[in-house]
Structure 1
């Protein structure tokens, strides 16, 4: 398309920048994965009459596998939809230029992966450092109260007697703070909301962009609330997860997304194209030179017609 910047070519995969970014991503992601799979949470105690730990055990409404599949799938689908919707923008050519970058989706997904690794590392480190008991802890652990002297108050010496669940489930019962589901869902929705705000440029609908953003936020809030109704987290755990997901999404997009998804150059190119197409073609039989229009636009901020002095001297 005339006026658009040159189409991006496939960069070589074995570059110093790519290898360095992959190493950094693995450096952050692998510790988070190890903590998620084999982390040893701090062993906190409890009070025998703590009603916040006496909720019954329920199956997850949204499992870890379901959350991961939906979050990654929704991210890929949203990135593709945004770029496809830009193709149908016919009011302004600069928006069609925005879709010429074939790596927009790859860049967006790469930034998403980096932010996810940071968010997951923060969450897992806090889970294991705090070791807060879940609301269904008594039902999962079933400590032997016949061997516990509740008059001592805060109990730290106890043994779980429930053999109906795996060791990983019992370990997970001591990782309530913060909510990983809330952090992941809010991070995903906020990242996509910011991506849509930055990349989606359409004029054929005023409501499509905010409707997409509102739907993403609603889905993440429903996922977060389900952790409370499933008796998997305390309310404060969910709030902490929401804060972590929101802050990481905003920080990562501000530091990386704005830079790598910037469309400033494309806007400048399309502006020159608009000047060329809409300028007054002739004054005294002479055509308006494009370089003069560009200089005039740069100085005054708006294109002027061909100066008469220039026409007379010509």
Structure 2
């Protein structure tokens, strides 16, 4: 069947490529895991009269677990939905089989995972390198201002006295820039927007594609805005996170997605399959038996060519 994944012998260079990709994944994943679990941010200071750090602490509307679950869940549903809609569109044309659609979904999810890891690595590196204090820092840390001489201006020598929060929350209070929720939500929304743009190919609706893309962007902006209302990030942190997620999504998709997820590749595969089948003389579909109608000749002792020539001269007397 056209478009189906056929079994082929794996070339040697593909084995080398797989080994190199595994090494790259480890080079990204190991530092990322270390920074996420054990990374300690830069010890930034503050001004005693900095009103941007005096917001009260409140639980996050969208927790870290929820943002990860939403990102992976929405991505999985979106990829499957796009390929199901494409399959329904092509059902009458019989162009593709289920294995090919499944392979496209796996490729799309694999590229998403790679981009997600890149975005997470950038996020963790910047958070620990900058060490910007969150808007609720004073409430989380509660530095002892009686022991601080605020006349010195920028204070770097201070001790947190609050014991109500865990060490993880205390560490996170120094990791405001950029907003991780903004990075992840915008990366997911932008990646799926590009995936829908290049993969979804339907004719029964002209506004379905832009509607899905608008919903994804709206969810990303709402998730990012919640970080400001929850006093977890400054506005500039959220804007920087949105820009970072946008750049990573575009870079990853246009470097990998346009190569492995483009509909033109499928059309070329279908054309190659047609050429291969038509050029194969042993294909049963194109084997036409040749039979000479000997019973139509009156004189069976004469060869067929002679009878045909005689009939031609009889129908065209000018050729005599």
Q: 2:4 touches 2:96 (CA, 8 Å); kept in 1?
A: no
Match of 2:96, SS state, is: helix
Residue 192 of structure 2 corresponds to: 192
| 2-structure distance, mates of 1:244, 1:10 | 40
Residue 123 of structure 1 corresponds to: 123
1:90-133 superposed Cα distances (whole Å, 9 cap, x missing partner): 59849x43876231011011111110111111111110110000
Residue 10 to residue 121, structure 1, CA distance change in 2 (3 Å): farther
| 1-structure distance, mates of 2:214, 2:97 | 24
1:30-78 superposed Cα distances (whole Å, 9 cap, x missing partner): 2122111111111111010000000000100000001111111111111
| 1-structure distance, mates of 2:125, 2:182 | 16
Q: Give, in angstroms, the shift of residue 24 of structure 1.
A: 1.0
Q: Give, in angstroms, the shift of residue 264 of structure 1.
A: 2.1
Q: Which aligned pairs between 1:3-42 and structure 2 lie closer than 5 A?
A: 4-9=2-7, 15-42=15-42
Runs of 4+, deviation exceeding 6 Å? 271-274
RMSD of aligned Cα (Å): 2.4
1:106 aligns with 2:111: no
Structure label with greater radius of gyration: 2
| 1-structure distance, mates of 2:247, 2:230 | 25
Residue 220 of structure 1 corresponds to: 220
| 2-structure distance, mates of 1:257, 1:269 | 17
| 2-structure distance, mates of 1:11, 1:63 | 46
Q: 2:4 touches 2:97 (CA, 8 Å); kept in 1?
A: no
| 1-structure distance, mates of 2:22, 2:124 | 21
Match of 1:61, SS state, is: coil
Residue 233 of structure 1 corresponds to: 233
Residue 160 of structure 2 corresponds to: 160
Q: Give, in angstroms, the shift of residue 141 of structure 1.
A: 0.1
Residue 205 of structure 2 corresponds to: 205
TM-score, structure 1 normalization:
0.81
Residue 207 to residue 11, structure 1, CA distance change in 2 (3 Å): farther
TM-score, structure 2 normalization:
0.79
Q: 1:54 touches 1:137 (CA, 8 Å); kept in 2?
A: yes
Q: 2:190 touches 2:249 (CA, 8 Å); kept in 1?
A: yes
Gaps of 5+ in 1: 275-314
Residue 73 of structure 1 corresponds to: 73
| 2-structure distance, mates of 1:125, 1:272 | 46
Residue 264 of structure 1 corresponds to: 264
Match of 1:19, SS state, is: helix
Q: Which aligned pairs between 1:38-53 and structure 2 lie closer than 5 A?
A: 38-53=38-53
1:226-257 superposed Cα distances (whole Å, 9 cap, x missing partner): 00000000000000000000000000000000
Q: Give, in angstroms, the shift of residue 8 of structure 1.
A: 4.2
| 1-structure distance, mates of 2:270, 2:258 | 20
Gaps of 5+ in 2: 275-320
Residue 68 to residue 227, structure 1, CA distance change in 2 (3 Å): same
Q: 1:183 touches 1:245 (CA, 8 Å); kept in 2?
A: yes
1:170 aligns with 2:170: yes
1:97 aligns with 2:126: no
| 2-structure distance, mates of 1:192, 1:99 | 21
Residue 144 to residue 8, structure 1, CA distance change in 2 (3 Å): farther
| 2-structure distance, mates of 1:265, 1:235 | 42
